[in-house]
Amino acid sequence: MNLAIRDIRHNAGRFVFTTVGIGMLLMLVMGMGGIYRGLIFEATLLVDRVGADLWVVQGSTRGPFAEISRLPANLEDRVRAVPGVAQARRFVSHTIQREHLGRPLRMVVQGLAWPDDRGEWVPLLAGRPLRQAHYEMIADQSLRLPLGEKIKLGKDVYEVVGLTRGLVGTSGDGLTFFTASDALAIQFDVPGEAMRLERAARRARVEAMDLGRLQPLLLDRAAGLSSGIPALAAPQVSAILVTLQPGANEAAVRDILRTWPDITVYSTQEQKDLLLAGMVDKARRQLGLFRGLLIMISTIIIALIIYTLTLDKIRDIALLKLIGARNTVIGGLILQQALFMGVFGFGLAWWMGLYLFPHFPRLVLIANADLISLGLIVIVISTLASFLGIWKALTIEPNTVLAV
């Protein structure tokens, strides 16, 4: 029988507890890699799903995901007139936090360019896309809003008509889809008293001008609805999504759009690169640092355990040397124990991760390439950790077995 297996059976309790500890450490290493991949997946999910060829954003900005971008909604009409453009639609995105049924509810509000975009591209788990221009919404399942639930946002009440799964923003908050007009109404909603004070301030400013004294009717207009004052612009959108015609020259379309000084144009890949370089880069580096530290800690723990097991077998190793066992046999015994410990710990980590990772608040995405690379790392650190025990075993003198 293999000497390493016999020795493990002799010290089964210590081996099991050590393997469990190593497995939990390796599960953390595996989980951090999965969290990083989950961050990338969640950050780029909406950019991939929305299906735009070009993103038109506010000039000299990096887009709605990297910083605030504000564009007039009628810009989509200008973009449609560019040769090669098949469709231009408004994009509205912002995050809100409300209280619903006694619990905080944080969501990412996405505005769909009704009626061109009704949310048919959204993968629905239940329900249907939007059918009317107001008061309907599609919600991610993570928000725990059942189908048919009604929620008040701003001054209006919206009904959940569709449910989706796995659609979250860069911060892990569930996505909700409204028409663009409803999304803007939610974003720019202010309390009634604030609206009354703003109208009173507008009236006071007009009264202080000669024009207000000469034309008193302007005072009533200034104190009325904002939409009734032509000088006030309509609420602005975050970006304009451009879909090109089949066979259209993307470079030619971008060259035309670049001549407009009030906008900046990005491709979908450039938008993803900006998003990852800004919001995900620091998290990637931090997770990578912790992952490296845990690998070092696992190596040290395995080395210390193997060294301790070697110390417990000093007389046994001395006896093996006394009866003529070669150093390669003794070194192989210790190396095999370290590899068994690492491999069993890796298997335990993978098994525990299957049951624990789905319950994490953020997506943990484990790729096969990550499992293979981590398995190779485990073999390497187990081999390195065995060197301390092998060195100690080789320094043991055969006559140690005769000592009292």
Q: What is the pLDDT of residue 339?
A: 84
Task: Provide the percentage of residues in the chain whose pLDDT is more than 70.
Answer: 83
Q: Which residues of 206-228 are buried (b: 16+ CB within 10 A; e: fewer)?
A: beeeeebeeeeebbeebbeeeee
Quick one: average pLDDT of 158-179?
Answer: 87
C-beta of residue 134 within 8 angstroms of C-beta of residue 181: yes
Task: Dump pLDDT digits (tens) for 346-381.
Answer: 899 899 988 888 888 778 888 888 888 888 888 888
**Angle, nearest 10°, between helix axes 314-322 and 327-356?**
140
Under the banding of pLDDT at 50, 70 and 90, the label for residue 1 is: very low
H-helix segments, 89-191: 180-187
H-helix segments, 51-146: 75-80
Q: What is the pLDDT of residue 139?
A: 93
311 compared with 86, residue with greater pLDDT: 86
Determine the residue type at 33.
Answer: G
Task: Dump pLDDT digits (tens) for 188-231.
Answer: 877 767 667 777 776 676 666 655 555 665 555 566 555 556 55
Determine the residue type at 343.
Answer: V
Sign of the CA dihedral 9, 14, 16, 18? negative
Q: Whole-structure pTM over 0.75, yes or no?
A: no
Quick one: average pLDDT of 140-157?
Answer: 89
Q: What is the pLDDT of residue 176?
A: 92
Task: Dump pLDDT digits (tens) for 88-119.
Answer: 888 888 888 888 888 888 999 988 888 888 88
The alpha carbon of 13 is separated from its chain's Cα centroid by a whole number of angstroms, namely: 40
Quick one: average pLDDT of 15-33?
Answer: 84
93 compared with 6, residue with greater pLDDT: 93
Q: What is the pLDDT of residue 201?
A: 72
> Token pair for residue 179?
């028409």
Q: What is the pLDDT of residue 177?
A: 93
Q: What is the pLDDT of residue 404?
A: 44
Give the integer Cα–Cα distance in Å for 119 and 144: 20
| Mean pLDDT, the chain, integer | 80
> Token pair for residue 197?
């004070």
CA dihedral of residues 70, 75, 80, 86 (deg, nearest 10): 20
Of the candidates 380, 398, 315, the one whose C-alpha atom is nearest the C-alpha of residue 7 is: 315
Task: Dump pLDDT digits (tens) for 310-353.
Answer: 777 777 667 777 677 677 777 777 788 788 888 888 899 899 98
Residue 178 DSSP one-character state? E
